[in-house]
Amino acid sequence: SPPDSPASEPSSALAAGRSAIKPSDFDYLNIIGKGSFGKVLLARYKENEQYYAVKVLQKKIILKKKEQKHIMAERSVLMKNIKHPFLVGLHYSFQTTDKLYFVLDYVNGGELFYHLQRERVFLEPRARFYAAEIASALGYLHSLHIVYRDLKPENILLDSQGHIVLTDFGLCKEGLEANGTTTTFCGTPEYLAPEVLQKQAYDRTVDWWCLGSVLFEMLYGLPPFYSRNTAEMYNNILHKPLILKPNVSNAGRDLLEGLLHKDRTKRLGSKDDFLEMKFHSFFSPINWDDLMAKKCVPPFIPTVSGPTDLRHFDPEFTHLPVSTSLCNTDNLHVTSSVREAAGAFPGFSYGPPVGHAFQ
């Protein structure tokens, strides 16, 4: 249901309890990420000492860039993620006059990108394990008519056990039926599908192209059509045939050829979506029920001593000072633009269902 329909508004009992959640209920310990609209912080909820990742967004920047729709879509997608093991979970969302807050699962095993940079390539069984967990998450989003659109190693995190967690749903497109298409130009240059680059209509198969790009990078060390020169890279994506060196199994090369097919109507996943991944020979060693139940032992367990161990985060962020303005918005000078921002996100706040303990 749309964000502001009565169905998604909590009962009045919860609303009363929920309104109590505010920025000052958290201790903000470190900055662990930065984006175009704000920061992600490691925060401890004072009441139960639990750790969360709190994404704090500046309303005025969102309004200036006309991104309200993306932010509300992100919130809406996060609320549907509750039931999937490989998608980041939302615990709360709330707002102050000038900021939006998402209280999310805290995941501290590092970005896949970070581990790949350190090791250059992954062996095939490890790449297969990650690709399978990512594919199941994408398949779940597609089953809800959501196209993710921004799969890249920076948005793929590892938890402390070594499982995949997809984050950042700001570019998701909702309400795209199985054969529906959209045309918004968005994504990250290295991972853009040909049809997106050509500004043609595209569908959920863009996510399978991106999975192919990420799998290729895991196995070969660089994205498939990579060039330092962006124009040349775009040209490669559109026109250059896929070249696969023989140090990957036949099944792996076959999967990459299927996922990185330039014609989306012939791409692997174009007919039966996730089922085409599930039954591909590359994934034959995977027991999908065990995978979903997290019974498959991850091939790599990140070394973390506890929640405050930030060794897998970029020191560029973690060394930044945490701003005191995070839980202090009382001294805002109320101008007309502040007033506009204050009311621009109706229905943003969310708390867990009644009887669901904050955990």
What is the C-alpha to C-alpha distance for residues 143 and 177, in angstroms, rounded to an integer?
A: 9
Of the CA atoms within 13 Å of residue 273, those in its CB half-sphere come to 18
Measure the CA–CA gap between 356 and 226, rounded to whole angstroms.
46
User: Is residue 64 a known part of a binding site?
Assistant: yes
Contact indicator for 157, 167 with CB cutoff of 8 Å: yes
Helix (H, G, I), strand (E, B) or coil at 213: helix
d(C-alpha 313, C-alpha 100), whole Å: 23
Q: Which residues contact 130 (CB under 8 A, 6 or more apart)?
A: 112, 122, 156, 164, 218
Active site residue 159: no
Q: Are strands 164-166 and 38-45 parallel, antiparallel or unpaired?
A: unpaired
Compute the distance between CA of residue 230 and CA of residue 110 in angstroms, rounded to an integer: 27
Cα–Cα distance, 174 to 11 (Å, whole number): 25
Q: What is the DSSP letter of 66?
A: T
Q: What is the DSSP string of 43-66?
A: EEETTT--EEEEEEEEHHHHHHTT
Residue among 25, 150, 263, 330 flagged as catalytic: 150
Burial degree of 291 (CB within 10 A; 0-12, 13-18, 19+) = buried
CB 63 within 8 A of CB 75: no
Q: Write the CA distances from 55 to 36, 138, 141, 160, 224, integer angstroms.
A: 12, 22, 21, 20, 32
The residues assigned a catalytic role are 150
Binding positions for ATP are 64
Binding positions are 64
